[in-house]
Amino acid sequence: MARLTDRIAAANADALDRLARAAPVLSGVKDARTLVPALSGRTLLHAGPPIAPAAMCGPMRGAVLGAALVEGWADTADEAARLLDSGAITLLCTHDHGAVGPMAGIISPTMPLFEVHDATTGRVACCPINEGIGAVLRFGAYDTTVLERLRWIRETLGPAIDAALQKLGGLPLIPLMARALAMGDEMHQRNIAATALFVRALAPHVVEAALPAATAAAVLRFLADNDQFFLNVAMAACKCVADGLRDIPYCTVVTAMSRNGVEFGLRVSGLGAAWFTAPAPVPDGLYFPGYGAADANPDMGDSAIVETVGLGGMAMAAAPAVAGFVGLRSAQDALVTTTRMSEITVGPNPHFKIPALDFAGTPTGIDIRRVVELETEPVINTGIAHRRAGVGQIGAGVARAPLACFQQALAAFAERYAT
Amino acid sequence: MARLTDRIAAANADALDRLARAAPVLSGVKDARTLVPALSGRTLLHAGPPIAPAAMCGPMRGAVLGAALVEGWADTADEAARLLDSGAITLLCTHDHGAVGPMAGIISPTMPLFEVHDATTGRVACCPINEGIGAVLRFGAYDTTVLERLRWIRETLGPAIDAALQKLGGLPLIPLMARALAMGDEMHQRNIAATALFVRALAPHVVEAALPAATAAAVLRFLADNDQFFLNVAMAACKCVADGLRDIPYCTVVTAMSRNGVEFGLRVSGLGAAWFTAPAPVPDGLYFPGYGAADANPDMGDSAIVETVGLGGMAMAAAPAVAGFVGLRSAQDALVTTTRMSEITVGPNPHFKIPALDFAGTPTGIDIRRVVELETEPVINTGIAHRRAGVGQIGAGVARAPLACFQQALAAFAERYAT
């Protein structure tokens, strides 16, 4: 019988090999209920590990109320709150249904989602369309402007992007994302290159999709005004890739890191669907004028799926412009961050390379053993939400995936595989 | 009376100050004859210092024949050649008429040009629209495909971009270019970020310009398929900025570097319109498969105007992806190149900053005294043209502005200003 370390090494190599073969393609935009069969009746998905309605943080609760209003389950926020508190709304985890969502991550049945499928395996993953900044559902806002924008996204933007994608025949995402990484995006806090490349690829097809000119212009303007538009596409792509690494026996690679605004949760390939949780940290970073740490909600959202496959904080060295934004002092600090992350990962990313490091691949495949041994917590580049529903983003910074999650996971791994 | 070195220092500081205040805006696309009054009758502009028709290199001669055909001055290439050789076509320098052109740089009366005006001074500069790669006029090709594409650019693309720019109210270029520099473009051999940002900004207005949908789609597709599209916009912007530094007494800063495929020419602020010339070098770089140095035309085109104001080779550290493409070995070499260039320039660029150098400005304002003293020739990132008309680009590399030009210029400066 092979030694345990050899089995783990083979399993982790298999994970990186699956990642190398992944070929996520943005194939369309579809209703959430089409992509997620569990979304029947009054059911919503939320970001992070499971959480009871009563335990939800302010922004997530606000987003639930907004979703109930958009779906027409309630006419007022009070009515929606009564539904939620009475247990009449079923809440499920995004990550259990091939989905990811930013911040609160609320996905409702009629919400249009980006559909990404892996051309190699056929696996599908999805994520909502980015709403822009300011008062938006993902930060728990549900005023009239927010709901009207969501309806416009559902009735107009989603179908227009879908029509353009059908004209295009799908958009392979790895080449675009690799290119954007070489253009200073780390694809978590900075997506301007990816967004611009996305618009450039899609624009002719938006025009050819037989939309009224005013609609085509409105769609292109919405994309032009939102530097983070691509983040949600990247999240769907990363979820698609990460799900391909799940359930490999003996594999110590992390397949999901996510936060529900209260707890941080971790999944590990060899340990299936189990979540290993700890209190979600408050990110360390910079606040917009007028805000400070006392206003901050603990870390929230499924967006750390990008770090799970070698982007975001792992790729800090690719994006020195992000370094200052998240509180690092220099481009050198960004290089140091990426170098530290290479100590807790299985290997260099075969797709995503960093010009400033002479095109070395980003650190990829977080190995729970290395995290525990070195006590080096994975770095997550993240936005900071106000703890009150609907205020929105109040800063940006670096969150560290709690060591406690990795320690629990390693203990469970030892129990399961050590004989 | 102030010492000469003090006067030079004050003049050079004035030059950098003018550069800091420049605010080039892409304001439209107009016929060359509208922007350049000298383009009446059978007159063309060409890149670089003045050259007699008989002395022209193959690609420039081919481009002249193509332009004569597009303008309807001749029905066949032979007829066009007879016109050129008989002296029936007047040839003038782009740089004397507020214009720049890539490679052969041929500008004919009905050719649509990007119009850039400086919002601070009102100064105007212009450049043709990028034709794409392969067989194109700027490399001396003039077959039917080339001429048809030029007609489409004249009848369709130029007017569409102009209409979109009028809807937009003009596009300020410094913010876009500064952003693209932070995204890995050095804006000579790499313009993908700038092009994508340009498309993103313009796309809604292309759609709103009341064009037929098929035209709007064709325009957006042309832009989507050409990673170097923005180069020509950048050239017009840089010409607009550089012309603002001309004719400052005692100023030792270079205001133009350009090549006609035979000679390399230099202009210096304190020395007016005089060209200081030397044989154009063959760039040192990498060749596409099947080609080598024996096929290469000496360096050609007005595109070195971007190095004149701190982009291209000066900004190599911003674009490690270019380093390999032009024959450098590593990102470290790119940093070294930019650091070397800072030794021969007046100061850091106030607009264009490099994330990898913690947002230090690019080396800007080439000082002829420093070049001569250190014998450090300015680096120009350049495409390599086949010496035969119409073959096109056969490689890319680094050309060095010949020291002899700077030595001549410094001698002329001493004669003029030393008393």
Distance CA(B65)–CA(A62), nearest Å, equals: 68
Closest by Cα among B387, B189, B410 to B294: B387
- Residue B67 and residue B80: Cα distance in Å, rounded? 9
Q: Do B224 and A216 touch (CB under 8 A)?
A: no
Q: What is the DSSP letter of B393?
A: E
Q: Is A204 within 8 Å of B220 when comparing Cβ atoms?
A: yes
Shortest distance between the Cα of A356 and any Cα of chain B, in A, equals 6
From the list B207, B331, B357, the residue facing A207 with the nearest CB is B207
* Contact between B109 and B68 (Cβ < 8 Å): no
- What domains lie within chain B, and their CATH numbers? 246-417 (3.90.1700.10)
Residue B168's closest chain A neighbor by CA?
A221
Cβ density class A185-208: b for 16+ within 10 Å, e for less: bbbbbbbbbbbbbbbbbbbbbbbb
Tell me how close the Cα of B250 comes to any Cα of chain A, in angstroms: 38
Which residue, among A316, A309, A278, has the nearest Cα to A396 in the 3D structure?
A: A316
Q: Does B204 touch chain A (CB under 8 A)?
A: yes
CA-to-CA distance for A7 and A5, rounded, in angstroms?
Answer: 5
The proportion of chain B whose per-residue pLDDT surpasses 90, expressed as a percent, equals 92
| Cα diameter, chain B | 67
Does the CB of B178 have a partner CB in chain A at under 8 Å? no
Q: Are B380 and B259 in contact (CB under 8 A)?
A: no
- Asked if the Cβ–Cβ distance from B183 to A204 is below 8 Å, we say no
Contact between A217 and B204 using a beta-carbon 8 Å cutoff: yes
Q: What angle do CA A321, A323, A326 make, to 5 degrees?
A: 115
Q: What is the pLDDT of residue A336?
A: 92
Residue of chain A with shortest Cα separation from B334? A356
Neighbouring residues of B399: CB distance < 8 A, sequence distance ≥ 6? B259, B280, B281, B282, B283, B284, B299, B304, B379, B380, B382
| Gap between the Cα atoms of A294 and B38, Å rounded | 67
**Residue in A183, A187, A208 to test binding to B, most B beta-carbons within 10 Å:** A183
A336 touches chain B (CB under 8 A): no
Contact across the interface for B207 and A217, Cβ inside 8 Å = yes
Whether residues B200 and A204 touch (CB distance < 8 A) is answered with no
Please indicate if any CB of chain B lies within 8 Å of the CB of A77: no
- Cβ–Cβ of B320/A223 closer than 8 Å? no
Beta bridge pairs of residue A364: A347
Q: Are the Cβ atoms of B182 and A184 closer than 8 angstroms?
A: yes
- Note the pLDDT of residue A1: 54
Task: Give dist(CA A64, CA A45) in Å, integer.
Answer: 9
- Of the candidates A144, A126, A120, A52, the one whose C-alpha atom is nearest the C-alpha of residue A92 is A52
CB contact under 8 A, B200 and A201: no
Task: Give the minimum alpha-carbon distance from B356 to chain A in angstroms, rounded to a whole number.
Answer: 6
B54 touches chain A (CB under 8 A): no
* Per-residue pLDDT at B327: 79
User: How far does the CA of residue A199 sit from the closest CA of chain B (Å)?
Assistant: 6
- Report ipTM (2 d.p.): 0.91
Alpha-carbon torsion A187, A192, A193, A195, what sign? Answer: positive
Give the pLDDT score at A358.
87
Q: Which residue has the tokens 């063309």?
A: B44
Average pLDDT value for residue range B109-126: 98
In the block, which residue shows the tokens 């400086």?
A: B118
Does A175 reach chain B within 8 Å, measured CB to CB?
Answer: no
In chain A, which residues have their Cβ closer than 8 Å to the Cβ of B218?
204
- The whole-chain average pLDDT of chain B stands at 96
Nearest CB to B356 within list A179, A218, A320: A320
Query: Which of B220, B332, B357 to mutate to probe the A interface, most A CBs <10 Å?
Result: B220
- Tell me the three-class secondary structure of chain A, residue by residue: CCCHHHHHHHHHHHHHHHHHHCCEEEEEEEEHHHHCCCCCCCEEEECCCCCCHHHCCHHHHHHHHHHHHHCCCCCCHHHHHHHHHCCCCEEEEHHHHCECCCCCCCECCCCEEEEEEECCCCCEEEEECCCCCCCCHHHCCCCHHHHHHHHHHHHHHHHHHHHHHHHHCCEEHHHHHHHHHCCCCCCCCCCHHHHHHHHHHHHHHHHHCCCCHHHHHHHHHHHHCCCCCCHHHHHHHHHHHHHCCCCCCCCCEEEEEEEECCEEEEEEHHHCCCCEEEECCCCEEEECCCCCHHHECCCEECCCHHHHCCCHHHHHHHCHHHHHHCCCCCHHHHHHHHHHHHCCEEEEEEEEEEHHHCCEEEEEEEEHHHHHHHCCCCEEEEEEEECCCCCCEEEEEEEECCHHHHHHHHHHHHHHHCC
Test the A interface: residue of B167, B183, B225 with most A CBs within 10 Å = B183
Instruction: Give pLDDT, residue B1.
Output: 54
A212 touches chain B (CB under 8 A): no
A345-374 pLDDT tens trace: 999 999 999 988 889 999 999 999 999 999
pLDDT for B328 equals 81
Q: Does B221 touch chain A (CB under 8 A)?
A: yes
Q: Residues of chain A whose pLDDT is less than 50?
A: none
> What sign does the CA torsion over B22, B27, B31, B37 have?
negative
Confidence at residue A96, expressed as pLDDT on a 0 to 100 scale: 98
Which residue from B339, B295, B321, B312 is spatially nearest to B400, judged by alpha carbons?
Answer: B312
Q: Mean of the pLDDT values across residues B48-68?
A: 97
Instruction: Say if residues A403 and A371 touch (Cβ distance below 8 Å).
Output: yes
DSSP secondary structure of B114-152 = EEEEETTT--EEEEEPP--SSS-GGGT--SHHHHHHHHH
Question: Is A321 in CB contact (< 8 Å) with chain B?
Answer: yes
What is the residue type of A43?
T
Distance from CA of A115 to the nearest CA of B (A): 23
* Nearest beta carbon to residue A224 from set B195, B203, B210: B203
- Residue B331 has its nearest CB partner, among A183, A201, A358, at A358
Q: CB of A140 within 8 A of CB of A66? A: yes
Mean pLDDT value across residues B115-134: 96
Asked if the C-beta of B217 comes within 8 angstroms of chain A's C-beta atoms, the answer is: yes
pLDDT in tens, B271-314: 999 999 999 999 998 999 999 999 999 999 999 999 999 999 99
User: Residue A127's beta-bridge partner residues?
Assistant: A114
Q: How far is A331 from chain B (nearest CA, A)?
A: 6
Question: What is chain A's Cα-based Rg?
Answer: 20
State pLDDT tens for residues B337-363. 999 999 999 999 999 999 888 899 999
- Record the pTM: 0.94
Length of chain A counted residue by residue: 419
Contacts of B320 in chain A (CB under 8 A): 355-356, 358
B220 touches chain A (CB under 8 A): yes
